[in-house]
Amino acid sequence: MKYLEYTPLDRINDFLSHVNLGERTIEGCLEAYSCKHTGTDKKLSLSLENEIFDYLGKSLDTDSSSPVEYLSCRSSRKTLIYLLLTLYHMYPDYDFSAVKAHQFFTEESWDSFKQIFDIYMFEASKEWLDTNEGSALLETLYKALDEVVKVAECEIYTYNPKADADPFLERGAINLVGEGHLLDESSYDEDGEIFDGMDM
């Protein structure tokens, strides 16, 4: 995958690099990549495919919770590998397992993802208006995303691992979706600063 320079994202990333909301801060960025494999991606993609085929060959599990049926489908494997390649670009020091990571990806509708994201970014939107004239943060952000990836034509996934399986889950990190629903208020109290260490 090749990193794509896209100027409309720069202004948003400058803002998201450190948003001070008093007791909380937001650190995040938006990045665009092509799906064309580089040399490293080809090797990694092949390695992931081999891991999946090894798992399929060894597994006799017919449990409905098993990833066997999903991973047996070529288009599902291809989607999973693209998602994992994205994670590898974001976190190059971590070795993601295709079979294990499969269970942490959830397909979402754009509307449900947007609704949850809007709630989390409400306070940041106020800060944006104080420092930027013109359109609102979310309007600017969604317009830039749509220009880069044509949101209406996309499949949208969230990566939401369990805390003990996520190598980068820090205290206060945001997970936008918990079992397909907003995380309950008790998780906010427990984590405290829910916006720290946010990656997009």
H, E, C per residue of 109-120: CHHHHHHHHHHH
Rounded-to-integer distance, Cα 110 and Cα 6, Å: 22
Name the token pair of 99: 């079979």
Contact (CB, 8 A) for 13 and 26: no
pLDDT digits (tens, 9 = 90+) for 177-200: 433 443 444 343 444 443 344 444
Q: Cβ distance 8 to 144 under 8 Å?
A: yes
Check residue 199 and give its pLDDT. Answer: 45
Determine the number of helices (DSSP H) and then strands (DSSP E) in the chain. 9, 6
Task: Quote the pLDDT of residue 170.
Answer: 52
Is pLDDT larger for residue 170 or for residue 21?
21
pLDDT of amino acid 61 = 55
Model confidence pLDDT, tens digit, residues 158-169:
887 766 655 555
Structure confidence at residue 122 (pLDDT): 85
In total, the chain counts a number of residues equal to 200
Closest CA to 158 of 92, 110, 195: 110
Cβ atoms of 89 and 81 closer than 8 Å: no
Grade residue 72 by pLDDT with cuts at 50, 70 and 90: confident
pTM beyond cutoff 0.85: no
Dihedral sign, CA of 42, 107, 166, 19? positive
Res 80 pLDDT > 70: yes
The confidence score (pLDDT) of residue 5 equals 85
Task: Sort residue 188 into left (φ over 0), alpha (ψ -120 to 50) or beta.
Answer: alpha
| Among candidate residues 51, 48, 52, 110, the one with its CA nearest the CA of residue 82 | 48
CB under 8 A, 24+ apart: contacts of 77-83? 77/49, 77/52, 79/155, 80/48, 80/52, 80/105, 81/45, 81/48, 81/49, 82/35, 83/157, 83/159
Query: What pLDDT score does 63 carry?
Result: 53
- Answer whether residue 172 shows pLDDT above 50: no
The amino acid at 43: K
Domains and CATH numbers, the chain: 3-191 (3.40.1000.50)
Cβ 106 vs Cβ 177: under 8 Å: yes
Residue 167 confidence (pLDDT): 55
Condensed to tens digits (0 to 9), the pLDDT of residues 21-57 reads: 887 788 888 888 888 888 888 888 888 888 888 888 7
What's the CA gap between 72 and 195, in Å, rounded? 37
pLDDT of residue 190: 41
